Amino acid sequence: MTATIDTGLTKAERNDVVQELSKVLADSFALYLKTHGYHWNVRGPEFFSYHTLLEEQYREVWAALDDIAERIRALGEFAPQAHSAFANLTSIKDGDPENDAPTMLKELMKDHETVIATCRAALAVADDEGDDVSVDLLTQRLAAHEKSAWMLRSTLGGR
C-alpha cells in the first residue's frame, strides 16, 4: 500500500522542486569530492593552513548532503545516488591533483559560486511552488557557500 503525500504541495510542485534539489545535491557532492581531493593533495609553504581550511569546508558540505537528500525523500522522490546520476546533473568539473595550491583554491572558489547559482535557481523554484521548507534549506546552503567562497577569495588575497 502506498501512502499519499498531503503536505500542501501538489505532486507537480514537489517534482519541480525535486528536480532543482537534485542539481544542488549533485553539485554539492561533486564539490565535496573535489574539496576533499584537494585537501589530500595540496602542497606548498602554506600547506597546513590550506589543508585545514579545506578540511573544514569538505566536512561542512558532507554534512549538508544528507539534509539535501532527505529533503528530496520528504518530497516523495528518490535522491540520486550513483556517480553517473551525479555526473549528468552537476556543473562542477573534476579537479587535477597536480594543480598548485592557488589554482586549487581559485577553482574551489569558482565552484562554490557555481553551487551558489544552482542554489539560487532552486530557491526561486521552491519559492514559486510555495515550498517554505526547501526555501529555508536552500537559504542555509547559500549562506554556507557564500562564506566558503569568501574564505577562499580572502585566502587568495581578494576581497
Q: Is residue 1 part of a domain?
A: no
Residue whose grid cell is 539535501: 68
Judged on CB neighbours under 10 Å (0-12, 13-18, 19+), 6 is exposed
Domain residue limits at 67: 11-155
Residue 1 has what pLDDT? 64
Q: First vs last Cα of the chain: how many Å apart?
A: 56
Q: Give pTM, 2 decimals.
A: 0.95
Q: Is there a domain that residue 5 lies in?
A: no
Judge whether 71 lies within some domain.
yes
- Give the residue among 62, 34, 38, 60 at the shortest CA–CA distance from 50: 38
- Residue 4 covered by a domain: no
In the chain, the DSSP E strands lie at none
125 in any annotated domain: yes
Q: pLDDT tens, 94-141?
A: 999 999 999 999 999 999 999 999 999 999 999 999 999 999 999 999
Structural domains in the chain (count): 1
Alpha carbon 108 to its chain centroid, in Å, reads: 12
